[in-house]
Amino acid sequence: MTKSRPTLTTADRRNRLALRHRLAPSVHARTAAEAADAVVALHATDAATVYLSARARTAGLDVASMEAEFYDEHAVVRFLSMRRTLFAVSREMAPYVDSGAARAIAAKERTTLLKHLEEDGHGLDAAWLAEAEAATLAALDEHGPSTGTELAAAVPQLRHKITVFPGQKWETVQGVATRVIRQLAADGRIRRDRPRGSWTSSQFRWIHTEPWPQLPPPEARAELARRWLRAYGPATEADLKWWTGWTLTETRRALAAVGPDEVLLDGGRAALVSSGDTEPVPEPEPWVALLPGLDPSAMGWADRGFHLDAEHRPALFDRAGNVGPTVWWNGEIVGGWAQRADGEVVVRLFADHGTEAARLVEDEAARLSAWLGEARITPRFRTPLERELSA
């Protein structure tokens, strides 16, 4: 006799998102590290996103407290990982993300860099790269936290330029400093420290660090899949493959190691949850959130239909599939927001969701304006609605 599969409705999925992503006020996190763990990892391509994503999941945690976690306690660290994208993860989660995703990416990055050095034809090879890396680490040991520009001034090897894709239509000349620093970061030998400028700056200083402890990749991928399912389930194999950037074989093996349960979604489609995690969760109190561009709650699935009406996607995403700032009401994306030049946070809702929703959104926009203060946020990936609202 076939065992019947439980059903989790769209409402159930939105309730899970509210509680597990720490977006409902009653379950807000205390720290940025807790906020990161709630969604496995915070997107960090845009420097401001990490702060705004953490703020939305805490009781208004201020910038100074977050900076202490990032740069004094190293409780949250940034590095290249899933999908060759920069993420911020808690120190506890870092070894799993490193061994489960970042190591393979670092190896591919090194292969690509060595290929470009060889194609340049000026004798820059693996031995030269090793010398450049050693000199860069020595400069950090001598000078302390340094920007890429400062490192290039201190290390002669970093002042070399190479021709990338010679003889092809996209041929270009690049400095090697960015490439060598990126490789050292991918290998976990250097990490981002306080930026030059404000918290919205992406011009980070670098520090010399020890790589994360290496775990067996299958074990690390299984743990990463387990935590992702807890945060994002119910979800599909395709969702996990997209989120991690793994091969289909790696994705299936990680899921097999976890042993998820299968549930049905609205419409009868099958999805996966953590073992035993098949029951609906309590409905939280009414809540709103103003989430930044690239926030994990919008980007955590390949299929986002349960929280976003397809009609509104063109206004909120750029052509490469990057989401802009979004307004949420009870687990659904209902609009977008932007910051104007005078600092005001303005919103647009796609439909009337009632007086309570409108009031809570207005209150949250005012709180965010006050929290930002003199800071001005321009998302790295501009979307049609954000451009329109900020004008």
Tell me what the mean pLDDT of segment 59-72 comes to.
Answer: 94
What gap in Å lies between CA 269 and CA 280, rounded to an integer? 17
Predicted confidence (pLDDT) at residue 248 exceeds the cutoff of 80: yes
Residue-wise pLDDT for 3-22, tens only, equals 678 999 999 999 999 999 99
What gap in Å lies between CA 181 and CA 177, rounded to an integer? 6
pTM score of the predicted model = 0.94
At 171, is the pLDDT very low, low, confident or very high (cuts 50, 70, 90)? confident
- In 3D space, the residue among 38, 45, 37 whose CA is nearest the CA of residue 82 turns out to be 45
Q: Are strands 270-273 and 261-264 parallel, antiparallel or unpaired?
A: antiparallel
More confident of the two residues 173 and 208: 208
Give all domains of the chain, ordered by start, each with its CATH number. Answer: 10-92+218-273 (no CATH), 108-208 (1.10.10), 308-390 (no CATH)
What gap in Å lies between CA 149 and CA 214, rounded to an integer? 31
What gap in Å lies between CA 146 and CA 155, rounded to an integer? 12
Residue-wise pLDDT for 184-220, tens only, equals 999 999 999 999 989 999 999 999 999 999 999 999 9
Predicted confidence (pLDDT) at residue 23 exceeds the cutoff of 90: yes
Strand, helix or coil for residue 289: strand
Cα three-residue angle 240-244-250, rounded to 5 degrees: 75
| Structure tokens, 270 | 């099958």
pLDDT reported for residue 214:
95
- The helix or strand, by DSSP H or E, that contains position 175, with its residue range, turns out to be strand 172-175
Return the residue matching tokens 């400093």: 177
| Structure tokens, 175 | 């400095």
User: 213's torsion region: left (phi>0), alpha (psi -120 to 50) or beta?
Assistant: beta
Residue-wise pLDDT for 84-140, tens only, equals 999 999 999 999 999 999 999 999 999 999 999 998 888 899 999 999 999 999 999
pLDDT reported for residue 123:
85
pLDDT reported for residue 1:
42
Q: What average pLDDT is seen over the chain?
A: 95
Tell me what the mean pLDDT of segment 340-358 comes to.
Answer: 96
More confident of the two residues 164 and 19: 19
Residue-wise pLDDT for 249-291, tens only, equals 999 999 999 999 999 999 889 999 999 999 999 999 999 999 9
Tell me what the mean pLDDT of segment 303-322 comes to.
Answer: 94
